[in-house]
Structure 1
Amino acid sequence: MKKSVVLYPGLGVGHLTPMVALANVFVQHGATVTVALVEPPTTSPEFSAALTRAAASNPSVTFHVLPPPPPPSSPAGSSISDDATSSAQQHPIVLMFERLKSMSPPLRNFLRSRLPAVDALVLDMFCGDALDVAAELNLPVYYFYASGAGDVAVFINLSRSTTTSSVDLDGDTVLSFPGAPPFKASDLPQEISNGSPGAKPILHALSRLPEADGILINTFESLEPRAMRALRDGLCVPDHSTPPVYCIGPLVSGGGEKEHECLRWLDTQPENSVVFLSFGSMGTFPKRQLEEIAIGLERSGQRFLWVVRSPRDPEDMSGKPLPEPDLDALLPEGFLGRTKDMGLVVKSWAPQVDVLRHRATGAFVTHCGWNSTLEGITAGLPLLCWPLYAEQRMNKVFIVEEMKVGVEMSGYDEEVVKAEEVETKVKWVMESEGGQALRKRVEEVKDKASQALKEGGSSHAAFVEFLKDLDNMRSL
């Protein structure tokens, strides 16, 4: 019988993108897939555009935007303006979790309307409240963890072993967890390590991962063997049995762009000659840092393709789209003219997957978001690691020390990465023997990633095993 699953990615384009890639894997295995979406509480052109692209590119997948929750009732004696002021002052992560919790009734109603046709609910890592919805409906529930197995190993252990709302440690304190190399406390997400109001809901959400019937991870076995051994041996969950863990990646979506100006520019460049710099949809820098990057690139003498976004006001938590960058105002005077024969600066966005896979691209300066990390690895490119936020510093640790597919851009945890560092690392990765050895290593990992997804490969076999386990769950 054909399976029917509902995927629930929660909030944010970065969480929707890998979930859509997972939806396609289900479709390839003959399942019917519906993606149940939470609309942002404020109008988001980025969300609307991402949904439109996803629906157009994936006609076999149904996308359903859940209706908004009923407005919260105001406590007696409070005014609407007081409530609005209080809400505006709350931490954005706290607001995100409140929004997801409030979506439980619409999600419950949607699933109930589909039963008994739904065979399983697959959740994003932050959607722990949906576990209770699934339990109420007696529905098998799985997590899809869109980042790596190393992060799962660390964060599950951390969330279930700490009794505080954050990890109050000096940044230089060395931490050790099963499945991970030793790392500094400063490599944890700042939301967890600095006493942020967002730490408590994040840790609580992560602590619920072992309650699911299984965890699907967007990685492949040979990329993270130490973390997978620790998870399967139950070393990461000291007080609970560990559910089955399935490596089903690398799932990389996108590609197929033909007309963007940067691809036409790349067509004119020599093979493996261009350094690509891109820092994700939320990755922005102040003018001073952009100037240092520009100076370093120019001095390096290397060809480059650089995506520049307008600086974001650190006080602005609204998530509003950034204006188009004024490159002449943000970059050093005359930079664009002096480098027009060696580089191209693109405003705001580029078709990243297509750029990374282009024959002319030779290295990737990345913020270490997991989607970007896998895109770089599957393109066979050495990674220059410049983490910015969330779990990206942890990803950097695994990329450099465990996977050995990248090197660190020193100074990212200080006030500014200097032009000298940009120049040195870009030249190293493109010209040195060490850079060539790193490129060879990544090519080998790329081949293993490709093999994992083929029929009979480790990730393909893991997904088949997951489907069999799901059949067993439904027959109980």
Structure 2
Amino acid sequence: MESIVFYPAPDRGHLISTVELAKLILSQNPSLTINIIVINPPIKLGSTAPYITAVSATVPSIKFHHLPTVSMDPNSYPNSMAIMFDHYRLVNPHVVDLLRSFSRDFTVRCLILDLLCFPALEIASELNIPAYYFFTSGACCLAVFHQLPNLYETTSQDFNDLHTTLLKLPDFLPIPLSHMPEPVLFRNNPECLYIIECATHLKKSAGIIVNSFESLEPKAVKLLSSSSTESPVYCIGPLTITTVWVCFQSNSCKKSAFGLERSQQRFLWVVRNPPSENQRKDPMNQPDPDLDSVLPSGFLDRTRDRGLVVKSWAPQVAVLNHVSIGGFVTHCGWNSVLESVLAGVPMVAWPLYAEQKINKAFLVEELKLALPMNSEPESGGLVSAAEVEKRVRELMDSEEGDSVRKRVVMKRDEAMAALSHGGSSRVALAKLAESWMRN
């Protein structure tokens, strides 16, 4: 029997996108068995157990294998990211054991690992298993990520201090270094060194699988293909994923509410409970919010006839594909971006964390699929109610909003074509699978 092994990062967004990729592979190669290695993290990242149970029951060719728990003291680390980065190294011996056990029962064609799990790359090399990276964000972000090691070597300052310094890639818009993900803003942080090491390992893989489609980011794909010849890039997506909702500070929620109310637009708003200080390491496991405390007094009554506020969660894919949806205020997580493009819905880009500022820059300046929200909730809740009102109105009523709407519909059609029989994503997947079977 033949198998492909996946090793995703443990949070829900990465695990679910991995399973979606596995399903795509099985749709074209039904005789394969997919073995997925699941980390038991030392911190809570949101329960994946119900999801894993559901997938196991409905797709028997996908099998999950949980790594043993590694003893760690979370209190000795500065944050949850530092804990997880150390954990990826500490579980390596258990990954070796699993891969060896798979090899006894299967012909293991390749290992597909999340870039954050790069310590396992050396294991694959030792066991003579081809290893591919699965990059869960887009090709534009990967093109920036590819430059990080060189940037780190050519400057001695923190990226956070280089607000006027721009990263310039061929044929791309300049990106401020301050837009880099938070872990790499300060060069002496252990998390920064880990991310730089991740990026350094990109060319050491047999190939890189990107969660995007080529026609959405053609310049990035061209750049990566010319600079990463040792590691071919395969644009397999877009993979539509269930949503991870974002948290605002309480005062940001109130200002956003005032802006929505004054815009006079109909709206659906999903509100999560902002985590308290002692819950920062587990932001996804929060109780439902008390809407009376996070929203302005009387807001729900005043907007009852044209607005709906939902606690914690809503079926985002179904909502975005509803005919009445005219725009999406998004934190620019790549999963949400792809869902919005596939639905043909224009966006207001409001980044919060991770690579989302990079995504915003490409969405607004390069792809022109979004209008910018310039206030940032992460910087002390300085969101302006007037700006919320302005951007929502512009998206719905202005010429600029109409232009964004037309472009996103065009990209939706390109995405559908990429996913169709003979489309670029299907061809890339077939080419990738063929390379595995030749090994």
TM-score, normalization by structure 2: 0.92
Of the three residues 346, 355, 363, the one matched with 1:382 is 346
Tell me the equivalent position of 1:111.
99
SS in 1 for 2:47: helix
**Within 5 Å, which residues of 2 pair with 1:238-257?**
242-254=230-242
Shift, 1:381, TM fit: 0.3
| CA-to-aligned-CA distance 1:301-339 (integer Å, 9 cap, x gap) | 111000101112356432161121000111000101111
242 and 167 in structure 1: CA distance in 2 versus 1, 3 angstrom threshold: farther
84 and 401 in structure 1: CA distance in 2 versus 1, 3 angstrom threshold: closer
Letter in 2 for 1:208: H
**Within 5 Å, which residues of 2 pair with 1:150-165?**
150-163=140-153
Tell me the equivalent position of 2:181.
189
Distance in structure 2 (CA, Å) of the matches to 1:179 and 1:192: 24
Shift, 1:350, TM fit: 0.9
Tell me the equivalent position of 1:263.
none
42 and 189 in structure 1: CA distance in 2 versus 1, 3 angstrom threshold: closer
Distance in structure 2 (CA, Å) of the matches to 1:383 and 1:97: 33
Q: Does 1:322 align with 2:286?
A: yes
218 and 179 in structure 1: CA distance in 2 versus 1, 3 angstrom threshold: farther
Shift, 1:167, TM fit: 3.4
Contact 1:150 1:180 (C-alpha < 8 Å) held by counterparts: no
| CA-to-aligned-CA distance 1:20-65 (integer Å, 9 cap, x gap) | 1101111101132121111121355533344344445544422222
Tell me the equivalent position of 1:310.
273
Letter in 1 for 2:7: Y
Letter in 2 for 1:201: Y
Contact 1:91 1:197 (C-alpha < 8 Å) held by counterparts: no
| CA-to-aligned-CA distance 1:244-292 (integer Å, 9 cap, x gap) | 11111111145xxxxxxxxxxxxxxxxxxxxxxxxx6362111110001
Shift, 1:454, TM fit: 1.2
The farther-off stretch of 49-58 and 208-217 is 49-58
Tell me the equivalent position of 1:359.
323
Contact 2:206 2:230 (C-alpha < 8 Å) held by counterparts: no
Shift, 1:179, TM fit: 6.1
Tell me the equivalent position of 1:20.
19
Distance in structure 2 (CA, Å) of the matches to 1:374 and 1:424: 25
SS in 2 for 1:381: coil
Contact 2:245 2:313 (C-alpha < 8 Å) held by counterparts: no
Distance in structure 2 (CA, Å) of the matches to 1:184 and 1:166: 13
**Within 5 Å, which residues of 2 pair with 1:375-454?**
375-412=339-376, 414-415=379-380, 416-454=382-420
Tell me the equivalent position of 1:146.
136
The alignment yields a C-alpha RMSD, in angstroms, of 2.1
Tell me the equivalent position of 2:225.
232
Distance in structure 1 (CA, Å) of the matches to 2:422 and 2:41: 40
The farther-off stretch of 37-46 and 299-308 is 37-46
Q: Does 1:221 align with 2:214?
A: yes
Contact 1:154 1:180 (C-alpha < 8 Å) held by counterparts: no
Shift, 1:345, TM fit: 0.5
Of the three residues 168, 190, 213, the one matched with 1:176 is 168
Contact 2:5 2:112 (C-alpha < 8 Å) held by counterparts: yes
The farther-off stretch of 167-176 and 420-429 is 167-176
Distance in structure 1 (CA, Å) of the matches to 2:91 and 2:171: 34
Distance in structure 1 (CA, Å) of the matches to 2:33 and 2:222: 32
Shift, 1:398, TM fit: 1.0
| CA-to-aligned-CA distance 1:336-370 (integer Å, 9 cap, x gap) | 11111101101111111111111221111100011
SS in 1 for 2:327: strand
**Within 5 Å, which residues of 2 pair with 1:229-308?**
229-234=222-227, 242-254=230-242, 281=244, 283-308=246-271
Distance in structure 1 (CA, Å) of the matches to 2:28 and 2:386: 50
Letter in 2 for 1:244: P
Letter in 1 for 2:310: V
Letter in 1 for 2:430: V
Tell me the equivalent position of 1:272.
none
Tell me the equivalent position of 2:38.
37
| CA-to-aligned-CA distance 1:420-463 (integer Å, 9 cap, x gap) | 11111111111223222211111110000010011211111111
Distance in structure 2 (CA, Å) of the matches to 1:233 and 1:45: 38
Contact 1:13 1:50 (C-alpha < 8 Å) held by counterparts: no
SS in 2 for 1:35: strand
Distance in structure 1 (CA, Å) of the matches to 2:348 and 2:74: 43
Runs (5+) with no aligned partner, structure 2: none
SS in 2 for 1:421: helix
Distance in structure 1 (CA, Å) of the matches to 2:302 and 2:406: 33
Distance in structure 1 (CA, Å) of the matches to 2:74 and 2:317: 41
TM-score, normalization by structure 1: 0.85
Contact 1:300 1:427 (C-alpha < 8 Å) held by counterparts: yes
Q: Does 1:210 align with 2:231?
A: no
Contact 2:13 2:241 (C-alpha < 8 Å) held by counterparts: no
Distance in structure 1 (CA, Å) of the matches to 2:401 and 2:160: 38
Distance in structure 2 (CA, Å) of the matches to 1:373 and 1:282: 13
Runs (5+) with no aligned partner, structure 1: 73-82, 255-279
The farther-off stretch of 182-191 and 383-392 is 182-191
Shift, 1:294, TM fit: 0.5
Equivalent pairs counted in the alignment come to 429
Contact 1:179 1:229 (C-alpha < 8 Å) held by counterparts: no
Distance in structure 2 (CA, Å) of the matches to 1:177 and 1:349: 38
Distance in structure 2 (CA, Å) of the matches to 1:197 and 1:370: 25
| CA-to-aligned-CA distance 1:44-88 (integer Å, 9 cap, x gap) | 55333443444455444222222224x37xxxxxxxxxx665x2x
Distance in structure 1 (CA, Å) of the matches to 2:26 and 2:158: 40
**Within 5 Å, which residues of 2 pair with 1:324-343?**
324-343=288-307
